[in-house]
Amino acid sequence: MKKISKIIVGTHNEGKFKEICALLPKNIIKISPKNLNLPSPDETGNTFVENSKIKAEYFSKKGNLVTISDDSGLAIDLLSGAPGIYSSRWAGPTNDFNIAINKVYNELKKFNIDYNEKKKISAKFISCLSVCWPDGKIVSSIGIIEGKISKERKGNNGFGYDPIFIPSGYNKTFAELDSKEKFKIDHRSKAFSKISNLF
C-alpha cells in the first residue's frame, strides 16, 4: 500500500490535534479541518467506533484526502460507563472542562464515596482511531488505559479530563505527567500502535 504523505487530522479538539500529530511521523504533512473550513459532522453513532468512522469518513470525503479521526472518552464504572461517548458533551456548548469535571464529581457524590477508605473509583479512557481514504476504505483501532478517578483535580498538562484521571500503577494524574510519559501508556497511543504500519 502507498505510504501516506499528507493527512487530515480530523478533529476540532486542539488537545487531541496536538497529540495525534505527535503520534504521526514527522515527515507527514498534517492538515486541520479548520484550515479547510470544515465544521464537525454530527456524532450520531452509539459507540466510539461508529463516531470515529463518521468523522474520518466525513473529513476524507469533504477534503478528498486520507484522514485520521479519533472518538474517545472517559468511562467511569460506578457511573455505568458515563460520560463515555458523551465525554465532550458533558463540557456543554462552551466546551468548558471545569463544567464537565464538576459534573463527574457531582455524579460521584451521589454514591457517598469516602476517598480516604482507599476505595478505587475505577475508570478508563478509550480511544478509537479511524483512518479513511477518499475511496472509502477505512481502518479502525481501539486503545484502552485503565485507571481511577482522583480525589481532586491535579496538574496543568494535557486537556479534557486529564486532571482527574490517575492511570493504574501511577500516583499522578495524566495532567501531572508530561506529554512524553502520557504517550507511553495512553489510550490514543495504544490505538495508534496497532495501525502505525499504515504510516
Q: Which of 70, 71, 162, 186 is catalytic?
A: 71
Is-catalytic flag, 70?
Answer: no
Stretch of residues binding ligand ITT (CB under 6 A), selected from 20-28, 112-120, 132-140, 158-166: 158-166
Count of chain residues binding ligand ITT (CB under 6 A): 21
In angstroms, give the least distance from the CB of 62 to ligand ITT.
14
In angstroms, the CA 163 to CA 174 distance is 6
Cβ pair 175, 162 in contact under 8 A: yes
**Residue 129 CB-density burial (10 A; 0-12 exposed, 13-18 middle, 19+ buried):** buried
- Give the rounded distance of the alpha carbon of 110 from its chain centre: 26
Applying CB under 6 A, among 72, 140, 150, 189 the residue interacting with ligand ITT is 72
Q: Tell me if 173 contacts ligand ITT by CB under 6 A.
A: no
SS3 99: helix
| CA distance to 6, 24, 25, 156, 193, per residue, from 30 (Å) | 6, 9, 10, 26, 18
Buried/exposed code over 93-105 (b: 16+ C-beta within 10 A; e: otherwise): eeeebeebbebbe
Applying CB under 6 A, among 8, 16, 67, 68 the residue interacting with ligand ITT is 16
What is the grid cell recorded at 42?
454530527
Applying CB under 6 A, among 11, 67, 130, 141 the residue interacting with ligand ITT is 11
Answer whether the bond into residue 83 is a cis peptide, omega within 30°: yes
Applying CB under 6 A, among 143, 147, 158, 167 the residue interacting with ligand ITT is 158
Closer to ligand ITT by CB, 79 or 114: give it.
Answer: 79
Q: Tell me if 63 contacts ligand ITT by CB under 6 A.
A: no
Q: Tell me if 105 contacts ligand ITT by CB under 6 A.
A: no
Q: Tell me if 122 contacts ligand ITT by CB under 6 A.
A: no
Q: Which residues bind ligand ITT (CB under 6 A)?
A: 11-13, 16, 40, 43, 55, 70-73, 87-88, 125, 158-162, 174, 186
